[in-house]
């Protein structure tokens, strides 16, 4: 796979400063650039590398002006990081090709409905009443239970498990080990203190353009639906409990957990290892620093951090005071 700088610039509607006829065959980090590769500059911390990189071309912002002589050809765009994502998507499509067809070892119930141009890999199982939309890809050893609906252009990588009656939207990506629709954690103690299972009869609804990372689990609702709204991105190793609702375009980093019936608003950003108590509401456009513990509802948009979570200003003041506590104790005693 090889492209000229001119071809890339036309694809990105970009301005070229340098030799537009150079050929590129790979991408590289700016500090590790070699001839024939394309790199990018988005974070100002890496600006010094643009003067030493050996990469043949570099994506930069349109307002970038070199302060020293520069050897690499510049491809000037509005947003280098966004353009890099477009190029990586293009590269990935070339690498993977357009998988299509059903492997002979796949097991598809006669009452399942499989759309056009679908790929179903080895030992995948699709049960009765399930629907797989056009152009979707079901990788090996994936299990799709009864009456599950998979929308068009969605990808389920190897080892994904979708329990009965769950719904996956269009253009979704579920990575290996994802489990959708396992029972919510519902038990009721009797007079002897024995925990009896509460049947979980709801489902999970994942809307369009959602990506779920490896080994993340989303539990089915006790009644009704656990809902993941459009554009949500979930990292690896996340637990979403029963009857949770996550708003449009919210992103959650690895090892976070959301307890039952909590509702997280749209456009929130959640750092790694955050924990949300059950039955709380989080306002839209909230950010949470890593390892924050959110015990109560958050009614105002803003950035929160700490355990228990507080505004970032409060958290920073408290951190300063905590560091001073040994000196304060010595002064008092």
Average model confidence (pLDDT) across the chain: 95
With both helix axes pointing from N to C terminus, report the angle between 80-96 and 5-12 in degrees, rounded to the nearest 10.
110
| Confidence check: pLDDT of 326 > 90 | no
**pLDDT attached to residue 28:** 94
**pLDDT attached to residue 329:** 80
Burial of 211 (0-12, 13-18, 19+ CB in 10 A): middle
What is the average per-residue pLDDT within 308-313?
92
State the Cα torsion 291-283-217-215 to the nearest 10°. Answer: -50
Q: What phi and psi values does residue 38 have, to the nearest 5 degrees? A: -110, 135
Q: How far is CA 293 from the centre of its chain?
A: 21
How far, in Å, are 48, 61, 83, 215, 218 from residue 66 at the CA level?
Answer: 10, 11, 20, 44, 48
**pLDDT attached to residue 209:** 98
Give catalytic status of residue 141 as yes or no.
no
Per-residue pLDDT band for 294 (boundaries 50, 70, 90) equals very high
**pLDDT attached to residue 253:** 98
**pLDDT attached to residue 97:** 66
**pLDDT attached to residue 96:** 67
Token match 């001119």: residue? 6
| Confidence check: pLDDT of 277 > 70 | yes
Quote the CA–CA distance of 9 and 2 in Å, as a whole number.
14
Quote the CA–CA distance of 11 and 31 in Å, as a whole number.
25
How far, in Å, are 177, 203, 221 from residue 165 at the CA level?
Answer: 19, 6, 11
Which one of the listed residues 103, 175, 242, 281 is annotated catalytic? 242
State the Cα torsion 232-233-239-242 to the nearest 10°. Answer: 10
**pLDDT attached to residue 81:** 93
């Amino acid at each position: 796979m090889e492209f000229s700088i001119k071809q890339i610039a036309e694809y990105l509607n970009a301005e070229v400063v340098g030799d537009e006829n150079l050929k590129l065959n790979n991408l590289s980090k700016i500090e590790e650039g070699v001839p024939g590769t394309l790199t990018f500059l988005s974070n100002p911390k890496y600006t010094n590398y643009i003067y030493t990189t050996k990469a043949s071309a570099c994506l930069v912002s349109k307002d970038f002006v070199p302060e020293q002589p520069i050897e690499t050809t510049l491809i000037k765009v509005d947003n280098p990081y966004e353009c890099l994502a477009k190029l990586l998507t293009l590269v990935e499509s070339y690498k993977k090709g357009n998988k299509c067809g059903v492997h002979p070892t796949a097991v598809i119930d006669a009452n399942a409905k499989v759309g056009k141009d679908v790929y179903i890999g080895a030992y995948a199982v699709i049960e009765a009443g399930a629907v797989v939309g056009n152009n979707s890809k079901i990788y090996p050893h994936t299990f799709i239970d009864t009456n599950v609906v998979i929308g068009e252009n969605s990808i389920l990588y190897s080892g994904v498990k979708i329990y009965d009656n769950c719904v996956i939207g269009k253009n979704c990506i579920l990575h290996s080990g994802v489990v959708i629709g396992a029972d919510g954690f519902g038990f009721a103690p009797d007079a002897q203190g024995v925990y009896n299972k509460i049947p979980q009869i709801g489902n999970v609804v994942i809307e369009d353009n959602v990506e779920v990372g490896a080994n993340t689990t989303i539990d089915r609702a006790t009644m009704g639906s656990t809902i993941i709204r459009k554009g949500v991105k979930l990292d690896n190793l996340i637990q979403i409990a029963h009857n949770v609702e996550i708003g449009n375009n919210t992103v959650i980093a690895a090892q976070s957990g959301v307890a039952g019936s909590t509702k997280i608003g749209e456009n929130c950003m959640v750092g790694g290892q955050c924990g949300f108590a059950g039955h709380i509401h989080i306002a839209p456009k909230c950010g949470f620093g890593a390892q924050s513990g959110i015990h109560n509802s958050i009614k105002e948009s803003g950035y929160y951090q700490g355990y228990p979570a507080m505004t970032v200003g409060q958290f920073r003041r408290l951190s300063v005071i905590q560091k001073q506590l040994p000196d304060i104790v010595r002064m008092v005693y």
